Amino acid sequence: MARSPVTALSALSRPTLGVFRGIGAVAEHVTRKQLDALLADDIIDRVLPDTYRMTVVPPSEAQSLVAALLWAGNEAAADGRSAGSQYAFEGVRAAKPEIVVPQHVRRRHPDVDVRFAADMRRLMVRTHRGVRVTGPEATLVRLAYLLDTEAFEVACEDARRRRLTTVAALQRYVDRYGRRGQRGLGTLRAVLRELDPVHPSASTLEVKTRRLLTARGLTDFVREYPLAWNGRTYRFDFAFVAPRTIVETNGRRWHDDPSDYEHDHEKWSVPGRHGFKLVLATWDKVTKDPDGFVAELHATCAR
């Protein structure tokens, strides 16, 4: 018994978040006339030329990206903010799909940001979570151009924290594929010079704190400074060793687990046992009262 058009399209679009190409539907014995009837009945919706979605599947950023890649062809890959979102880089979202295609692929549409690449090999395309996407290093070079510097650093540190890349890997990529005048390259190099090559920031608040300290000329800190007590080593975000002062970021507003509360208080008692003073960098201090926070730090260092 022949399948109904809806059954055939449901099976066709199941691996692609409810999206399919008209040419693929025809290959599954769904006629163009049947597609027109399903459009009229709002069972399917045309999102791009000869590219449709099943209306029963809620639209999403991921679905829009898959639709753009299907429309652009097998050589296309997620690029820029869409690639960063696919990797789940912190804070990175794409208002509309951003893709890259080889120069010979002539695809343009106002609902898709299409970039044309002379050499796709430079982008180190791979499949991530079922989607063709530019490599982490190539993605970060592109994001260095698209995002403001702080948002880029947040995304870069998240990528490092999750071991998707490293400072060394980024530097190797730039050395191999970087070109004079390439967009984003200058920003990436400037950020890499400021980052700790070993210890990525653990949170957005830590990124903001580092940027505030360096912007105010407080650069003589050591990242992830180790202090041991009672057989256990604790690491602290920023240590100003000469004035015996530690800055520790604290972004928690509450503690769901009492053991977290106990751990924090045990950790925060350790600097004093080694003769260090402790300054907590909270979200409100760093983002709403940076002058007050810096004044508190200066006063603590001076004591």
- Which of these three, 170, 194, 218, is where a domain ends? 194
| Whether residue 184 is found in the same domain as residue 84 | yes
Contacts of 200 (CB under 8 A, 6+ apart): 157, 160, 161
| Whether residue 67 is found in the same domain as residue 145 | yes
Task: Count structural domains, the chain.
Answer: 3
- Which of these three, 194, 227, 243, is where a domain ends? 194
The CATH number linked to 17 is 1.10.10
Q: Please report the pLDDT score of residue 263 as a whole number.
A: 57
pLDDT means per 10 residues, the chain with 303 residues, are 87 96 96 97 97 97 98 97 98 97 95 96 96 98 97 97 96 91 91 92 95 96 93 94 94 49 72 93 95 96 89
| Whether residue 39 is found in the same domain as residue 67 | no
* CA gap 146, 193 in Å, rounded: 19
| Whether residue 104 is found in the same domain as residue 183 | yes
The CATH number linked to 252 is 3.40.960.10
| Whether residue 235 is found in the same domain as residue 296 | yes
- Could you tell me how many helices (H) and strands (E) the chain has, helices first? 13, 12
| Whether residue 70 is found in the same domain as residue 154 | yes
Q: Please report the pLDDT score of residue 252 as a whole number.
A: 55
Distances (CA, A) of 28 to 2, 24, 126, 262: 11, 6, 28, 61
| Whether residue 70 is found in the same domain as residue 177 | yes
Residue 292 burial (C-beta neighbours within 10 Å; 0-12, 13-18, 19+): exposed
Q: Please report the pLDDT score of residue 267 as a whole number.
A: 86
Say which amino acid occupies 202: A
| Whether residue 255 is found in the same domain as residue 292 | yes
| Whether residue 70 is found in the same domain as residue 189 | yes
- Which of these three, 16, 43, 58, is where a domain ends? 58
Assess if residue 199 is contained within a domain: no
| Whether residue 37 is found in the same domain as residue 113 | no
| Whether residue 240 is found in the same domain as residue 168 | no
Q: Is 113 helix (H, G, I), strand (E, B) or coil?
A: strand
| Whether residue 187 is found in the same domain as residue 156 | yes
Domain extent at residue 71: 62-194
In 3D, which of 283, 282, 302, 285 has the Cα closest to residue 294?
285
Q: Please report the pLDDT score of residue 264 as a whole number.
A: 63
